[in-house]
Structure 1
């Protein structure tokens, strides 16, 4: 009897927007193979993260900022095993930096990063059920533009979280600012990276669908997915980091590969969040237009 009552109640909710949104979202996650796309994106992130580190650290070598401070402020997001792995790579890069390596790493970051962005664009087009494809040159151009944008975003995030205190002390020391401005800066160095992430993801979700399909999105239409991706990635990273640092025994299970396994899982979490943001926007667009984008049960049949 209870099961029947639940089914009857759900049937009554079919005309409600929240029910339609959840139905579209669940069907989109199943039909668009979110986990598979997340795994594909993780592969491209692994290919691009190391050239980006080489590029970033080579630029850092021209500044007065020391590389030892690189992970300060990221200990909440990055598990300790991942920090150890990246610290070893950073130490190797520090002794082999050069102008040639800087140029090569920049080109590799652009190429491998654009492959990952291309995978995201295709996943977002699936979320909106877009069938038409862009010409290869146009797709590659958009992918490269957003690769540069995401690289700048990472630099902003690292700059604010890792070097924010150092930057703030120098700036406010020169102008002789009071403690009020220093406390305000402490809050801004957290808010600025979050707002930057939301804006970049909102733009990525806006410009990914092929315009020839007739989908014209505004920034406000892509904000739900962008906010989810940003907040969800931060929270999921913090939970995963806490779990690995306190309960996970990856080093005992995988030995010296423990740090790599943890890095792969962390990047996979980030990839899933990015793809899920696109699915949320697709479901939101379907709900606002009262039209099923995906073939989801009874909603599409009507």
Structure 2
């Protein structure tokens, strides 16, 4: 994996993916807020759910954007937000496809229209999943109470919902990446072959977000270093770490597939080689 991270330029692909994500993040946020502002959902509900999903020090940037969007909503803004989100986010998905193909040592010989179509379809699928997940976070408790009242089980609602509000997003994220790792590479794969990467990415996203939040709360203060754009810098670093985790999930699937097929990259050394390499160079000197 050390060799693969270097050989497949995981850091560079994650940086490229972060660039497209930051371009699509704010248009999608504008689209989401503008769309929900036509419903009975208040801006406070939107603000609460979105900021809970983001690391600290980025809240103020998101709050300012939401305030501007809610105060100046328009159908033109809504349509432009949809177009910009789909186009830029699909470019990010294409970067993921290239990265996973590189992990499997597969050349992309599919037509550009096919690859672009796959990326757009996955972008629409992901946008729909995020929208439904967001609605679930906002209205899930109300829906759950109605269901429990119908079955006359209101006393158990608090315990069950306390688990479901975390398990439902977890399973949704898992199936999103399971579908991505299965459909993105230019080769036929079974779902069980991409299961390890999907599990790693799902758990990895949670671990990375928690560790990054702990770091910001206790050690790092981007506002002191970068001033007013500290929130944006924190958001970029968080996205970059998330994207490295996503690419690593594809690398894990590719490495396990190559091991099962008896293939390996000749220039990649065993893990022990990298442990003794510093001592080897010191001895040679």
Q: TM-score range by the shorter chain?
A: 0.7 to 0.9
Number of the residue aligned with 1:138: 114
Q: CA RMSD in A?
A: 2.2
Conserved 8 A contact 2:145-2:157: no
1:149 Cα deviation (Å)?
1.5
1:78 Cα deviation (Å)?
2.1
Number of the residue aligned with 1:257: 229
Q: Which runs of 5+ in 1 are unaligned?
A: 1-24
After superposition, residues 222-233 of structure 1 pair within 5 angstroms as: 222-233=194-205
**Judging changes above 3 Å, is the alpha-carbon distance between structure 1 residues 263 and 229 closer, same or farther for their aligned structure 2 residues?**
same
**Judging changes above 3 Å, is the alpha-carbon distance between structure 1 residues 243 and 76 closer, same or farther for their aligned structure 2 residues?**
farther
Conserved 8 A contact 1:28-1:279: yes
Give distance in 2, aligned partners of 1:294 and 1:152: 42
**TM-score normalised by structure 2 residue count:** 0.87
After superposition, residues 8-87 of structure 1 pair within 5 angstroms as: 25-72=1-48, 77-87=53-63
1:104 Cα deviation (Å)?
1.3
**Judging changes above 3 Å, is the alpha-carbon distance between structure 1 residues 189 and 293 closer, same or farther for their aligned structure 2 residues?**
farther
1:92 Cα deviation (Å)?
0.5
Q: Alignment partner of 2:179: what SS?
A: helix
After superposition, residues 147-296 of structure 1 pair within 5 angstroms as: 147-169=123-145, 172=148, 177-210=153-186, 215-292=187-264, 295-296=267-268
Identify the range of structure 1 (40-49 vs 65-74) with the bigger mean alpha-carbon deviation: 65-74
1:233 Cα deviation (Å)?
0.9
CA deviation string 1:8-40 (max 9, x = no partner): xxxxxxxxxxxxxxxxx2221110000011000
Give distance in 2, aligned partners of 1:219 and 1:295: 29
Number of residue pairs aligned between Structure 1 and Structure 2: 271
Give distance in 1, aligned partners of 2:107 and 2:157: 51
**Judging changes above 3 Å, is the alpha-carbon distance between structure 1 residues 294 and 255 closer, same or farther for their aligned structure 2 residues?**
farther
CA deviation string 1:271-294 (max 9, x = no partner): 111111110111111122222267
After superposition, residues 107-146 of structure 1 pair within 5 angstroms as: 107-146=83-122
Give distance in 1, aligned partners of 2:146 and 2:59: 27
1:169 Cα deviation (Å)?
3.9
Identify the range of structure 1 (158-167 vs 31-40) with the bigger mean alpha-carbon deviation: 158-167
**Judging changes above 3 Å, is the alpha-carbon distance between structure 1 residues 293 and 67 closer, same or farther for their aligned structure 2 residues?**
farther
CA deviation string 1:157-211 (max 9, x = no partner): 433445533443455457754222443233122111111111111111111111x
